[in-house]
Structure 1
Amino acid sequence: MMIRWMIYLGLLIFAAYESVVFEDAAVTMFFVAALLLFVLLLLLLLIQRQMLKVSMKIPVPAAEKNKGVQLLFRLENRLPFLIGSIHAEIICLSHFTGKKEKYAVSFDNGRKQGTAVTTVCQISGDNCGKMHVFAGRIRIWDIFHLFCLTKKVNLTGEITILPQIYDTAAAISEGVRHFAGETEEDEPEAAGHDASQTYQIRPYRPGDRLQTVHWKLTARNDELYVREAGEPICLAVGIFIDFYAASKAEKQHMAALIEAALSVSNALLEQNCRHFIVWYDLEGRHLCKQRISKIEDIYEVTGYLMSAACYDENMDLKVMYKEAFPYGLYAADITLRLSGDILTADEPVGHFDEKDMETSMRKCMLRV
């Protein structure tokens, strides 16, 4: 820009000198035209700033970690003449780490009159969690790049970078597998010994106890029918995610903590061990509990954890859980902390490292 201004001013000075010294009409007209060009370019630039319209669209607001996300920017040039270059700076702010990343977007292909073009911006998703995307202003240049004006815009959006689940080993004891605690639901695909719930009603088979005979149905059909009891679903293991940050550095481990917790949850689920996840919601000021009995439950709790926030006050989540859910018994507990510690019954069993999550989670062995 500076070089163009030097060339322009040099031509003006040369034309002024030639016009005064030699009194040449052609040179004088050239000098006047150069002065008028200054005013005309500035006037057209002001008109451009008023008439241009820029919008942003996020086609898929969720993406896997370490995979790019596309942002679509649409520029509408409603002017009947060619315009200069247009540039925008896009800022991506991570909800967990507070890290800012800047991306430059150029609309040079939308300079033609009466056109509407779409420009694609590819951004990275290296950290899981919510990412806020926004742009507050765009820069507009004239066709000679002599003048630049800014235009305020309000381009905002949100992208969720999904956490990655790593292989984690887990061994479930017989006591945990057959834990008989409080439950609100029965297994829909297996019979059991919960007399208060009915799994199915079927014809009598040799060996069935007389106490299970459904007498009303038997009387109506002149054939023995029995009521088969259901099998209660017990949540034997509790995963406690502690978002307490003892230092500013630990706040940067939010994404890694969530990935470690979901990896542990997935490891238990692969062993057919139903469980629950507990964390403290700082915004709502209450304890949250999510039962995990199928893979869809992990996807659901992921959405909640993406909005979690760390806190500065140390809390005993297990004590708070007993107060909030006095009948929510469990056989074993697993606690994960921002420091990277993974504990069962308050004993360290592993450590996750955000610099190498895959290796650190593979080395972890959970025994409950």
Structure 2
Amino acid sequence: MILTKILFIVLIIVCALFYILYLGNFALVLFIAMLILPIIMYVTTYIAKKNISADFALKDKTVTKNSDFSVQLVVTNRSIFPIGKAEAHIEYYNMFNEEVSSFDLYLPIQPKNSQRITFQLRSEFCGTLRVTATYLNVFDPLRIFKLKAAHNVSTEVLVLPECHEITGIVHYTDRINEESDIFSEHRPGDDPSEVFDLREYSPGDKLNRIHWKLSSKKDEFIVKDYSLPIDVPCTLFLDLKSYNSKYISLPVLDSLIDSFMSVSQFLIENERGHSVIFFDTSKNMFTEHHIATSLDLGIVVKSLLSSFSSDLSCQSPDNYFLDHPNLSFASFTYIGSALNQDALHYIDEEIDSEQKNAIIVIESADNLLDISIDLSTFSIIPVAVGRISASIKDIDI
């Protein structure tokens, strides 16, 4: 662009010399035209610049990890002047670590029209991906002037975590809520308020469970199986606070959220309702969400990813325990990225729960040496980054 300006200045000087050395109207007209042309270029480009707007268009603002998704930059020109060349600088980063990647887009902008240019992005980790057009520069037809038509136009894409298959034991009978109106579709129980199934009599069945009216019609004993309430108090506690001098690394945080989602889905598949507690920065408080179905889990995950602030600030779980003394659960699972010994000792000694687990996400197998703490009532499960299925095996929950 600088070379273009130099060449144009040289051309004006040549025209001036031509006007001085040669008499006649043509030399004068040519010299005046060369002086006026850049003014016209600037004015028309400036008018177009004032009438140009930019925005992003997304087919879906929720995507999955490691999959390509399309983003459209929409540039609208409401003026009558075309722009032969426009340059957009695109930056994108995960808000969990703000490592910026960037590239440039080049496009013409037609008058009285909207131009759409599509590009593909992909995220290896879950979180909120912010996409920003830091500037949109427009050029006049001679490439003499460059004007900024728009800047800092942004949008956000929610990248969802992955669910990994884990194994374990789910307890159905401990501290069952007899007043629950949610019943298992696959396992019988002892709640007479709802019938689970009808079957033939087997030796050992209680006589009060015989369906006498149906038995008289079938000429054989038919027994009622009662339903099993599944509204069992079970809690997952996410400790999102970083205890290192630096911010928690993106792979660790990604594996932490994947671990939560995997354990939650495991409980859903085994028909165990549960809740999750985490610190919501947008509300500046710990929040509790109840999960009974995969739809509930999806809503909670979106709320969790949206709850982070740009600096990843988070309160210690000690604040929650201080405000909620005498906690009691059938199962309590702590999920964090560091060995918070104060929190774990409090859970061990003060929280009443029949099953207790601590899932600690570590960056590598070398960090296993740091996982050493004497706890009497629950087990610690170290989870290496990206190895959730291999790490969470035979969890007792």
Query: TM-score w.r.t. structure 2 length?
Result: 0.73
Confirm whether residue 348 of structure 1 aligns to residue 348 of structure 2: no
Choose which of 129, 132, 136 in structure 1 pairs with 2:130. 132
Where 2:125 maps in the other structure, the secondary structure is coil
Deviations 1:123-170 (A, max 9, x none): 2222211223343642111011100111236744321111123344x3
Give distance in 1, aligned partners of 2:139 and 2:209: 85
* Structure 1 counterpart of 2:272, one-letter code: R
CA contact (8 A) 2:329 2:354 kept: no
Q: What aligned pairs does 1:133-148 form with structure 2 within 5 A after superposition?
A: 133-135=131-133, 137-148=135-146
Query: TM-score w.r.t. structure 1 length?
Result: 0.78
Deviations 1:295-351 (A, max 9, x none): 444434322322243545432499579748646555323333465589995543323
Task: Give how far 1:62 is off.
Answer: 1.7
Q: CA RMSD in A?
A: 3.9
Distance 1:317 1:263, change over 3 A: farther
Choose which of 313, 316, 322 in structure 2 pairs with 1:314. 316
CA contact (8 A) 1:246 1:312 kept: no
* 1:105 matched residue in structure 2: 105
Where 1:165 maps in the other structure, the secondary structure is coil
Confirm whether residue 233 of structure 1 aligns to residue 230 of structure 2: yes
* Structure 2 counterpart of 1:161, one-letter code: V
* Structure 1 counterpart of 2:355, one-letter code: A
* 2:300 matched residue in structure 1: 301
Choose which of 158, 174, 181 in structure 1 pairs with 2:175. 181
CA contact (8 A) 2:235 2:329 kept: no
* Structure 2 counterpart of 1:145, one-letter code: R
- Give the gaps of 5 or more residues in structure 1: none
* 2:195 matched residue in structure 1: 199
Choose which of 270, 275, 278 in structure 1 pairs with 2:276. 278
* 2:390 matched residue in structure 1: 362
Aligned-pair identity (%): 17
Where 1:259 maps in the other structure, the secondary structure is helix
Which shows bigger deviation, 300-309 or 11-20? 300-309
Distance 1:92 1:104, change over 3 A: same
Give distance in 2, aligned partners of 1:165 and 1:46: 52
* Structure 1 counterpart of 2:390, one-letter code: R
* 2:358 matched residue in structure 1: 335
For this pair of structures, how many residues does the alignment match? Answer: 354
Give distance in 1, aligned partners of 2:289 and 2:138: 51
* Structure 2 counterpart of 1:232, one-letter code: P
CA contact (8 A) 2:240 2:279 kept: no
Task: Give how far 1:40 is off.
Answer: 0.5
* Structure 1 counterpart of 2:44, one-letter code: L
Give distance in 2, aligned partners of 1:317 and 1:237: 20
Distance 1:234 1:181, change over 3 A: farther
Deviations 1:207-228 (A, max 9, x none): 654434689x89xx9x999764
CA contact (8 A) 1:88 1:105 kept: yes
Deviations 1:18-69 (A, max 9, x none): 3224445433322211100011111101111133343421012122212222
